[in-house]
Amino acid sequence: EAGVAQSPRYKIIEKRQSVAFWCNPISGHATLYWYQQILGQGPKLLIQFQNNGVVDDSQLPKDRFSAERLKGVDSTLKIQPAKLEDSAVYLCASSLPGLAYSYEQYFGPGTRLTVT
Amino acid sequence: AQTVTQSQPEMSVQEAETVTLSCTYDTSESNYYLFWYKQPPSRQMILVIRQEAYKQQNATENRFSVNFQKAAKSFSLKISDSQLGDTAMYFCAFISTGAQKLVFGQGTRLTINP
């Protein structure tokens, strides 16, 4: 079974530039998550999709971050304009619906963003 | 709000030794799951072990086992016969069946020395 795919793996941009990350979840996984992991910290949920609808985006900085999941499969996360404090690893994860699958999430390799 | 606390930022042991990583959590929920995730230097996060709160029996997966103390809200991970490949960041995580939002601790960096 193919895992969660993310691209690019690394990105370096200057502040005020824009950047986009792409995620392809495990086939059949209806739930998709984007996390931000700042160096030395645990991942923090940015947004959660169920199919192509948003379940939770309470911690997404909506003035600069946006995300979409068209057709309930792939997803993109965009930052525009980027700030220095956005430097982090952005993790994508997917899962099958909740209780029946014990809420296990499968993570991609992440995209390391450096904002200079 | 749920919180997860890992009080050991770093740990280091010799290969073949046993090591225990600590985790405490705070919640008012009664139905929840606890996880330990491993994040090796390559950054791919993988699940190590899972514990359902309603189960009194501690979960085990080969060399990995947990000590789940529900009343104390404690969930420690024991790694027996540690191997070099166990070197990684370990994150304790919590999810309630109500909120369904995974909350992570700050992580413990574990180094296994040859």
The tokens describing B10, both together, are 């770093």
Q: pLDDT tens, A17-57?
A: 999 999 999 998 989 999 999 988 999 999 999 888 999 99
CA distances from residue B14 to A14, B7, B32 in whole angstroms, order as listed: 42, 21, 34
Section B35-45 average pLDDT: 89
pLDDT at residue number A71: 83
Per-residue pLDDT band for A97 (boundaries 50, 70, 90) equals confident
The alpha-helical segments, DSSP class H, found in A1-116 are none
When divided into structural domains, chain A yields a total of 1
CATH class of B3-113: mainly beta
In 3D, which of B43, B5, B44 has the Cα closest to residue B21? B5
Q: Which one of A23, A103, A112 would you mutate to disrupt binding with B, by most B Cβ within 10 Å of its Cβ?
A: A103
In the sheet with A75-79, reading across from the earlier edge strand, the strands are A5-7, A19-24, A75-79, A65-68
Q: How many CA atoms lie within 13 A of A12 on its CB side?
A: 1
Residues B25/B94, Cβ–Cβ less than 8 Å: yes
Which residue from B42, B50, B97 is facing A104, i.e. has the nearest CB? B50
Helix (H) or strand (E) holding A82: none
How many contacts does A have with B, using Cβ atoms within 8 A? 52
Q: Does the pLDDT of residue B83 top 90, yes or no?
A: yes
Q: Are B102 and A105 in contact (CB < 8 Å)? A: yes
pLDDT at residue number A67: 97
Spatial CB neighbours of A73, under 8 Å, sequence gap ≥ 6: A24, A25
The shortest C-alpha distance from B31 to chain A (Å) reads 11
Which residue from A3, A56, A103 is facing B95, i.e. has the nearest CB? A103
pLDDT at residue number A102: 67
CA triplet B2, B31, A92: central angle to 5 degrees?
A: 60
Which residue of chain B comes nearest to A105, CA vs CA?
Answer: B47
Mean of the per-residue pLDDT values for chain B?
93
Chain B positions in Cβ-Cβ contact with residue A99 (cut-off 8 Å): 97
Which residue from A3, A89, A99 is facing B43, i.e. has the nearest CB? A89
Q: pLDDT tens, B62-72?
A: 999 999 999 99
Q: pLDDT tens, A48-85?
A: 998 889 999 999 999 999 999 988 899 999 999 999 99
| In a domain? residue A109 | no
Show which of residues 71-110 on chain A sit within 8 Å of chain B, judged by CB atoms: 89, 91, 93, 98-99, 102-105, 107-110
- For residue A17, what are the domain limits? 5-98
Which stretch of A54-68, B11-25, B29-43 has the lowest confidence by average pLDDT?
A: B29-43
CATH at residue A85: 2.60.40.10
pLDDT at residue number A101: 66
Q: Does the pLDDT of residue B42 top 80, yes or no?
A: no
Q: Does the pLDDT of residue A99 top 70, yes or no?
A: no
In 3D, which of A114, A102, A49, A103 has the Cα closest to residue A76? A49
- In sign, the C-alpha dihedral spanning A67, A98, A107, B102 is positive
Residues on chain B bordering chain A, Cβ-to-Cβ distance under 8 angstroms: 4, 33, 35, 37, 42-47, 50, 52, 91, 93, 95, 97, 100-102, 104-107
Q: Are A107 and B33 in contact (CB < 8 Å)? A: no
Per-residue pLDDT band for A1 (boundaries 50, 70, 90) equals low
| In a domain? residue A17 | yes
pLDDT at residue number B1: 75
Mode of pairing for the β-strands spanning B108-113 and B10-14: parallel
pLDDT at residue number B2: 84
